[in-house]
């Protein structure tokens, strides 16, 4: 066992006993968050359209507790309600909701149809709106809770190589949604924040990042000379989920290597 592991074992875990719903856990940022939260003592309730077998195995290998809802389409109210019901039925409460799941559509404006635009908005906004709607009465009744919504650097600035009109519009809406919901939830003890990742190496970005020219153009957007990782984003979500951020709400946390400062 390393010195770091020994120190980890001796300190209190940051999410000990918290019931945390994380959406989009079958891979990428959601999977990284599920493992990171579990290592800090969280009880994880995962969901994805795909199967969560790998994530479940990783969380349990780390000594964590997880249940997962596969085939969960969070563009439907029934699926969002089923996810929250699973957490409440199994564990009695929900302490954290991390709305990570989304499906983006990328196209330049000349090629984008209105149908493509509105499909993108639905697939990026409903997985935020509907789980929040389902968990809201649970957190209000408990008088506490932390909601985290995944936005994007694209909400604040144009990324020249990325045809992100619909995606950026959706993520700007996520930032505004989280800020307004934070205002409405404050009197109930419910905090709401968003995270805006920059260019992160994930399965979703793998194909684009394989293009050296595209990769280099994105690298120039960063102050720090590297791409982000799923663990970078998971660490930010962990902070917002924990009591360390108990006086943080209505904040959009940029995890972007300094891109938003350029």
Nearest alpha carbon to residue 47 among 123, 122, 131, 124: 131
Instruction: Round to whole Å and give the CA distance between 175 and 152.
Output: 9
Query: Over the chain, what is the mean pLDDT?
Result: 94
Query: What's the angle, vertex CA 91, arms to CA 247 and CA 245, rounded to 5?
Result: 10
Band of the pLDDT at 12, cuts 50, 70, 90? confident
H-state helical runs in 24-63: 28-39, 53-61
Query: What pLDDT score was predicted for residue 10?
Result: 55
Q: How large is the average pLDDT for residues 1-15? A: 60
- What distance separates the 2 farthest-apart alpha carbons in the chain? 57
Which position has the higher pLDDT, 137 or 205?
137
How confident is the model over 149-163, as pLDDT tens digits?
999 999 999 888 889
Q: How large is the average pLDDT for residues 215-225? A: 87
- What percentage of the chain carries pLDDT values higher than 70? 96
Report whether pLDDT(1) > 90: no
Q: Which CATH architecture best describes the domain 11-257?
A: 3-Layer(aba) Sandwich (3.40)
Contacts 24+ apart (CB under 8 A), 51-58: 51/26, 52/25, 52/26, 54/26, 54/27, 55/25, 55/26, 55/27, 55/30, 55/31, 58/31, 58/34
- The full set of domain ranges for the chain reads 11-257
Query: What pLDDT score was predicted for residue 7?
Result: 43
Cβ contacts of residue 107 below 8 Å, gap of 6+?
Answer: 116, 163, 165, 166
Intra-chain end-to-end CA distance of the chain, in Å? 42
Report whether pLDDT(9) > 60: no
Query: What's the angle, vertex CA 33, arms to CA 159 and CA 9, rounded to 5?
Result: 135
Least confident segment among 7-16, 210-219, 244-253: 7-16
Which position has the higher pLDDT, 210 or 128?
128
Query: What pLDDT score was predicted for residue 190?
Result: 98
């Amino acid at each position: 066992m390393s010195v770091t592991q020994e120190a980890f074992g001796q300190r209190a875990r940051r999410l000990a006993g918290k019931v945390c719903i994380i959406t989009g856990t079958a891979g990428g940022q959601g999977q990284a968050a599920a493992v990171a939260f579990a290592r800090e003592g969280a009880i994880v309730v995962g969901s994805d359209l795909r199967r969560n077998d790998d994530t479940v195995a990783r969380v349990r290998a780390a000594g964590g507790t997880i249940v997962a809802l596969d085939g969960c389409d969070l563009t439907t109210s029934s699926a969002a309600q089923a996810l929250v019901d699973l957490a409440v039925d199994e564990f009695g409460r929900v302490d954290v909701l991390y709305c990570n799941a989304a499906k983006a559509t990328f196209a330049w404006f000349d090629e984008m149809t209105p149908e493509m635009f509105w499909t993108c908005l639905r697939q990026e906004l409903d997985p935020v709106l509907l789980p929040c709607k389902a968990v809201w009465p649970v957190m209000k009744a408990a008088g506490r809770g932390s909601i985290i919504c995944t936005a994007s650097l694209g909400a604040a600035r144009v990324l020249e190589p990325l045809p992100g009109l619909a995606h950026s519009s959706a993520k700007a809406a996520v930032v505004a949604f989280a800020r307004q919901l934070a205002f409405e939830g404050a009197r109930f003890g419910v905090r709401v924040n968003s995270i805006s990742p920059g260019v992160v190496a994930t399965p979703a970005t793998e194909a684009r990042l394989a293009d050296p020219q595209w990769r280099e153009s994105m690298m120039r957007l960063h102050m720090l000379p590297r791409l982000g990782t799923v663990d970078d984003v998971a660490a930010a979500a962990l902070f917002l989920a924990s009591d360390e951020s108990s006086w943080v709400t209505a904040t959009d946390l940029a995890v972007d290597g300094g891109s938003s400062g350029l």
